[in-house]
């Protein structure tokens, strides 16, 4: 199982009410393009342009780990020309962004099964990871050919291949074999375009994540939108399965 390099230590969030790690399901590129009578590829390009301001807003707010769901294992079923355009766009984005991200101290990690990517794209991904592996300002995970179920199966297979006794498998051991090994689990999952599902994204890691759904299409999602998501998160009461003491008390007797 191919995993990115181990992350360097990162600064903590600037305020305790902020998440350490945000995952974003970037949805709505096609609808954005269709509403403007543009080809779907134009929506995907507009979506790529959204990444930079969202990253900067997260860093300015003090959130230093961002995971973007760029291409799922199910996305291969899309029309061939659309998949080809997406793969070309991934390569172009690496070429145009990696040097600047490196200069800004951002570590780039690709998570997912990269074996189905072209050899050329795999080389670009590895080069971007190698170049930025020592950066400590922030981490950007790009989930490409990623599926949460596949990730868990691949992790178990990897452990078995390494001679791990699966009868003794525990949570920490499995978590250490995932693509996100060494990273804190996401505290917040954001989904754009209003869909009410997690779509096979970080199934293990998101077990206790807060979910934030917005009707905003991904290309229209901006710094103000991420600020709204962070504000909503800060208002949540995260109890991780615990029950409030007052909620467990018996109701007072009627007078």
Instruction: Note the pLDDT of residue 102.
Output: 98
The two three-digit tokens of residue 117, written as one number: 């990517």
Q: Active-site residue numbers?
A: 27, 75
Q: How far apart are CA 189 and CA 22, in angstroms?
A: 6
- Domains in the chain with CATH codes: 21-236 (3.40.1180.10)
For the chain, give the number of residues: 255
Number of Cβ within 10 Å of residue 252's Cβ equals 6
Contact 47, 219 (CB under 8 A): yes
Q: What is the pLDDT of residue 254?
A: 44
pLDDT of residue 247: 39
Q: What is the DSSP pairing of strand 21-25 with strand 188-191?
A: parallel
Please state the pTM of the whole predicted model. Answer: 0.90
Model confidence pLDDT, tens digit, residues 73-91 = 999 999 999 999 999 999 9
* Measured CA distances, 159 to 113, 171, 206 (Å): 16, 13, 21
Contact 66, 55 (CB under 8 A): yes
Averages of pLDDT over each 10 residues, the chain, 255 residues: 58 82 98 97 97 94 96 97 96 97 96 97 98 95 98 97 96 97 96 97 97 98 96 86 47 43
């Amino acid at each position: 199982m191919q995993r990115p390099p181990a992350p360097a230590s990162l600064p903590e969030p600037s305020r305790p009410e902020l998440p350490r790690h945000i995952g974003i399901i970037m949805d709505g590129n096609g609808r954005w393009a269709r509403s403007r009578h543009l080809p779907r590829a134009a929506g995907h390009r507009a979506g790529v342009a959204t990444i930079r301001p969202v990253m900067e807003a997260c860093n300015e707010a003090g959130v230093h780990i961002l995971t973007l769901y760029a291409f799922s294992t199910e996305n291969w079923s899309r029309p061939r020309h659309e998949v080809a355009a997406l793969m070309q766009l991934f390569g172009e984005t690496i070429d145009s962004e990696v040097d600047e991200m490196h200069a800004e101290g951002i570590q780039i990690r690709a998570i997912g099964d990269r074996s189905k990517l072209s050899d050329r794209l795999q080389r670009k991904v590895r080069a971007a990871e190698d170049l930025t592996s020592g950066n400590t300002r922030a981490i950007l995970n790009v989930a490409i050919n990623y599926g949460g179920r596949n990730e868990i199966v691949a992790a178990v297979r990897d452990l078995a291949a390494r001679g791990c006794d699966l009868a003794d498998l525990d949570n920490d051991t499995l978590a250490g074999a995932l693509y996100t090994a060494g990273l804190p689990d996401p505290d917040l999952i954001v989904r754009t375009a209003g869909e009410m599902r997690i779509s096979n994204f970080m199934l293990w890691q998101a077990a206790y994540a807060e979910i934030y759904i917005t009707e905003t299409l991904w290309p229209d999602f901006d710094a103000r939108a991420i600020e709204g998501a962070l504000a909503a998160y800060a208002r949540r009461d995260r109890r991780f399965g615990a029950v409030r003491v007052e909620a467990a008390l018996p109701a007072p007797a009627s007078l």
